[in-house]
């Protein structure tokens, strides 16, 4: 097996997430602390399922604690932060599991119910997502498990719906449920990023090519039916006003939820990487075998290992023009639906359009980190390709036009990809693209694809990052081309 191009420590440092992110199902299981909320109106089927699940989690290495112990770690009738709360049964308003968590972002509530998910038989993704979001806000949970006599279904905020046979409970609990609990969907919070007002004007020539591509791509998405355009939160049914306010707080006052993203990485001046043998004398004094990154004068340098060679390059600031969180991506309103996302020295910066009124619902995508991970990965690839493949089309595209980065909740066959596109990620744990794990997997996979590309001796044109049980992130020349590949339109 090829050694990684860059270490996990280097990757987490450049994208600004913790270096101790669990990446395997076993690591994820050992990172979890789980308590079971007292059951309410449960059936024999549900009780049997819960007993089996508890034992399976313990065997997998999950720290399963008693509910009273979880309360002792918190205060004011709430469990301690960081504990996953599994809550069976419908519950009563005022005494739901969500009423007993210390943090909406640091505790995950899993609702477990008898029967099938409402809307499961709908053949359009939009209808299934609407039904899922409606169930999540009614029960006030982040994950739902439906159980019947033969199967169990896991439903998550990212639109993922996975059904398994009960006889496969132990295996699927470790490789599917545990990753979803250890890498939960958490909307970006205001403290996660800086904000720049009047950061860009979408009407000026510098942005016109990217804007046209975004608009054209959104029209094709709308025609395909693959994109869940928007679920408006004010149109959902809540048990009472308190829970409506809790949902709004959790979502940082977003007015809606939509799935998938369309973005354009803006053109970037690419500095060719330097093969280590020819690097500056100071760089040769660094023991790159012990550490593959260093920070000098507020800049990060990495030494990417490709075969028997190392290439030193500076991690640049990258910016994408992107759809805002919760907008109707099939019908973009250019006056308010576009933002810029910038990754600068591991810090995310949200750029608002010029003239946007105060109080506008203009927030970064749930998938901000994966978008920027792909953008910085594209910059790394372009820097290396500029050195080893003179006239690289990928490098020239990023330099002169920028690149498209898209995501949809569906998959594409490797055989349908154009020449020079690489697919990866099928064997990764099933995590949402809103998680640090997804960003790490995306960047690691892209770098591994470069290794394969060099071995193939072909032009590198783009890539498809598969997220099992979730969807696909794709990078390439234009949004319209990528959307047509995904939809067949």
Residue that is written with structure tokens 């032009």 in the block = 459
* Whole-number Å distance between alpha carbons of 247 and 232: 12
Helix (H) or strand (E) holding 33: strand 33-36
For the chain, the farthest-separated pair of C-alpha atoms sits apart, in whole angstroms, at 71
Residue that is written with structure tokens 């640090």 in the block = 436
pLDDT for the residue 275: 87
Nearest to 416 by CA among 370, 479, 481, 467: 481
Tell which phi-psi region holds residue 41, choosing left (phi > 0), alpha (psi between -120 and 50) or beta: left
pLDDT for the residue 475: 96
Residue that is written with structure tokens 């002792």 in the block = 72
Task: Write out the two tokens for 419.
Answer: 């020449």
Helix (H) or strand (E) holding 12: helix 8-15
Q: Which positions ≥6 away from 125 have C-beta within 8 Å?
A: 159, 225, 226, 227, 228, 259, 409, 410
pLDDT for the residue 365: 84
Task: Write out the two tokens for 452.
Answer: 């394969």
Question: What does pTM read for this prediction?
Answer: 0.93
CATH architecture group of domain 25-182: 3-Layer(aba) Sandwich (3.40)
Burial letters for 389-417: b for 16+ Cβ neighbours within 10 Å, e otherwise? beebebbebbeebbbbbbbbbebbeeeeb
The β-bridge relationship of strands 84-88 and 33-36 is parallel
- Where helices occur in 32-110 by DSSP H, the ranges are 44-60, 67-73
- CATH topology agreement for domains 8-18+188-487 and 25-182: no
**Residue spans per domain, the chain:** 8-18+188-487, 25-182
* Whole-number Å distance between alpha carbons of 360 and 455: 49
Q: pLDDT per position in the chain (489 positions), as tens?
A: 567 899 999 999 999 998 889 999 999 999 999 999 998 778 889 999 999 999 999 999 999 999 999 999 999 999 999 999 999 988 889 999 999 999 988 999 999 999 887 766 555 677 777 888 889 999 999 999 999 999 999 998 888 889 999 998 999 999 999 999 999 988 887 778 899 999 999 889 999 999 999 999 888 877 876 666 667 778 888 899 999 998 888 877 777 676 778 899 999 999 999 987 755 545 556 666 678 899 888 889 999 999 888 899 999 999 999 988 877 777 888 888 899 999 999 999 999 999 887 777 778 888 899 999 999 999 999 999 999 998 999 999 999 999 999 988 888 888 889 999 999 999 999 998 889 999 999 999 999 999 999 999 999 999 999 999 888 999 999 999 998 888 777
Task: Write out the two tokens for 13.
Answer: 């440092």
pLDDT for the residue 251: 78
| Domain 8-18+188-487, CATH among 3.30.70, 1.10.8, 1.10.860, 3.40.225 | 3.40.225
């Amino acid at each position: 097996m090829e050694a990684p191009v860059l270490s996990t420590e280097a990757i987490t440092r450049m994208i600004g997430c913790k270096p101790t992110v669990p990446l395997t199902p076993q690591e994820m299981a050992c990172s979890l602390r789980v308590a079971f909320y007292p059951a309410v109106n449960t059936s024999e089927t549900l009780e049997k399922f819960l007993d089996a699940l508890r034992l399976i989690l313990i065997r997998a290495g999950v720290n399963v604690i008693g509910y009273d112990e979880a309360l002792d770690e918190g205060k004011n009738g709430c469990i301690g932060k960081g504990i996953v709360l599994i809550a069976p049964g419908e519950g009563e308003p005022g005494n739901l599991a969500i009423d007993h968590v210390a943090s909406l972002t640091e505790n995950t509530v899993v609702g477990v119910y008898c029967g099938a998910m409402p809307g499961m038989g709908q053949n359009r993704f939009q209808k299934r997502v609407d039904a899922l979001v409606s169930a999540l806000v009614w029960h006030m949970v982040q994950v739902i498990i439906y159980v019947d006599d033969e199967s169990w279904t896991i439903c998550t905020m990212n639109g993922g719906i996975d059904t398994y046979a009960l006889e496969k409970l132990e295996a699927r609990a470790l490789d599917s449920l545990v990753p979803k609990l250890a890498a939960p969907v958490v909307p970006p919070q205001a403290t996660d990023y800086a904000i720049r007002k009047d950061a860009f004007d979408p009407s000026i020539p510098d942005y016109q090519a990217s804007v046209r591509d975004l608009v054209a791509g959104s029209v094709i998405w709308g025609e395909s039916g693959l994109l869940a355009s928007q679920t408006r939160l004010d149109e959902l049914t809540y048990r009472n006003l308190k829970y409506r306010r809790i949902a709004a707080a959790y979502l940082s006052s977003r007015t809606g939820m939509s799935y998938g993203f369309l973005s354009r990485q803006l053109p970037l001046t690419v500095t060719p990487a330097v093969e280590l043998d020819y690097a500056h004398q100071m760089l040769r004094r660094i023991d790159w075998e012990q550490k593959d990154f260093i920070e000098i004068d507020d800049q990060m340098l990495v030494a990417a290992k490709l075969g028997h060679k190392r290439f030193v390059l500076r991690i640049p600031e990258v910016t994408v023009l992107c759809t805002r969180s919760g907008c109707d991506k099939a019908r973009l309103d250019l006056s308010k639906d576009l933002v810029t996302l910038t990754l600068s020295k591991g810090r995310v910066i949200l750029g608002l359009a010029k003239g946007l009124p105060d109080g506008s619902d203009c927030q970064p995508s749930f998938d901000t980190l994966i978008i920027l991970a792909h953008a910085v990965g594209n910059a790394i690839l372009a820097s290396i390709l500029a050195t080893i493949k003179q006239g690289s089309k990928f490098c020239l595209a990023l330099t002169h036009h920028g690149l498209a980065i898209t995501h949809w909740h569906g998959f594409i066959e490797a055989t349908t990809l154009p020449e020079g596109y690489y697919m990866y990620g099928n064997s990764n744990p099933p995590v949402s693209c809103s998680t640090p794990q997804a960003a790490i997997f995306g960047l690691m996979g892209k770098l591994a694809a470069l290794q394969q590309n060099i071995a193939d001796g072909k032009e590198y044109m783009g890539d498809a990052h598969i997220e099992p049980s979730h969807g696909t992130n794709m990078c390439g020349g234009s949004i319209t081309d990528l959307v047509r590949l995904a939809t067949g339109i």
